[in-house]
A = this chain, B = another copy of it.
């Protein structure tokens, strides 16, 4: 009974996600669904990415939070379009929330839309939003075994960012194991080792992202 209800909810969500996807495709707009535990560094990665790419690339952001507009305030400082979604307790974004948010965004003047999901390593993986790629962040203090313990998110992502590598020497985090575990869940995962604090490794992420935007626009991705 309960499972049927959840399946119905997921099916309804997938239908709206497919509609969103068609809209994005028609605009040749590359869209990322950005995922992680709370505090792994989604908003900080967004800040580093925007300050590097803006205004050469026209970026829009949808900020998902349970409460507060703290993250949207951080992003709006860059003078780019931002829409805040507050789920009021909800543990993940759903496609219909994105659909409504699109009313407040001019997709025609955008090369890249990043949707920052709720900080939650479990539930958001079940709900497609219409994105081209899921990108998951694993932060060093969370521990190397997280891909084994929370596999769904890692399985469905195109790219994994291992963030806060500046903290490795203060923890028992073994990055070789983290990469090995992640690839055991998803062998095609593109992995970036970065620190948003020291900016180490950010170049590779930015170059990959630029290539994804360009390839998607030209129909290759």
The stretch of A16-24, A49-57, A100-108, A142-150 in contact with B is A142-150
CA of A166 to CA of B167, assembled, Å: 11
Contact check, A39 vs B70: say whether CB atoms are below 8 A apart.
no
Would A39 and B38 be within 8 Å (CB), given that A148-B67, A170-B167 are in contact? no
Whether B123 pairs with A122 at a CB distance below 8 angstroms is yes
The answer on a CB contact under 8 Å between A67 and B142 is no
A184 at the interface (CB under 8 A from B): no
On whether the beta carbons of B164 and A141 are closer than 8 Å, the reply is yes
Chain B residues closer than 8 Å to A140, beta-carbon distance:
141
Bound-state CA distance A118–B149 (Å) is 10
A158 at the interface (CB under 8 A from B): no
Question: In the complex, what distance in Å separates the CA atom of A182 from the CA atom of B200?
Answer: 33
Given A37-B119, A91-B123, A141-B141, output 14 extra A-B contacts at Cβ < 8 Å: A37-B38, A37-B39, A38-B143, A39-B141, A39-B142, A39-B143, A66-B149, A67-B151, A91-B91, A119-B149, A119-B150, A120-B120, A123-B123, A167-B170
Q: Which residues of A contact B (CB under 8 A)?
A: 2, 5, 9, 37-39, 65-68, 70, 89, 91, 118-123, 139-143, 145-146, 148-152, 164, 166-167, 170-171
